[in-house]
Amino acid sequence: MRKFWIVGFLLLGVPAAAQETRGTISGTVRDAQGVIPGATVKITNVDTAVEQPVVTNNSGYFEAPLLRAGNYEVSVEMTGFKTLKRTGITLAAGQQITLPLELEIGTLAETITVTGEAPLLEVNTVRTGLALTQRQIQDLPVQSNMPVLFTRFAPGLSASTTVVYAGQGYVGGPSHSP
């Protein structure tokens, strides 16, 4: 029985690496002369209509962290400039998107909408990841439907050559009392 408790403690006592489920959209707002501080940037989740307004700092930089994965639209407004809208931005879980946004001189009544651009590439960090659909998860060859066994499929990990039986009440086989 003691062996069972030790193995159970080891399995439950080791914290699992958390997978980042939120992303970040950031960027710099500028015009032909340089950066634009104090511009209002609205990041809108198209799927949920949730809007997050931010203001650029002295370097024209803005950042909207902890955004849910989904489709986004970014609009920038500043007095004396045309409103700029970027649509078709898809944010994946754990992704950081950096947008270079350039405003044109004009009035707030004028709006520039940019669509149909090439897909945004994340060039700041290198990551690997995998998003599985519900059907793909159901089709995985996992014994006893134990989620902890999904770690064998995580990028960068290699599974042991010996297969350990893990079932309800069993880890590596049945436990025996001394």
Lowest mean pLDDT among 23-37, 63-77, 147-161: 147-161
pLDDT in tens, 120-170: 556 666 566 666 677 776 776 666 666 666 666 666 666 665 555 555 555
22-30 average pLDDT score: 94
Side-chain-side CA neighbours of 100 within 13 Å: the count stands at 7
Instruction: Calculate the alpha carbon distances from 132 to 13, 121, 139, 141 in Å.
Output: 26, 21, 10, 14
Tally Cβ neighbours within 10 Å of residue 105.
11
The band of 87, judged by pLDDT with boundaries at 50, 70 and 90, is very high
14-42 average pLDDT score: 84
170-177 average pLDDT score: 53
The answer to whether the pTM exceeds 0.85 is no
Query: Which residue type is seen at 75?
Result: S
Q: State residue 135's pLDDT score.
A: 78
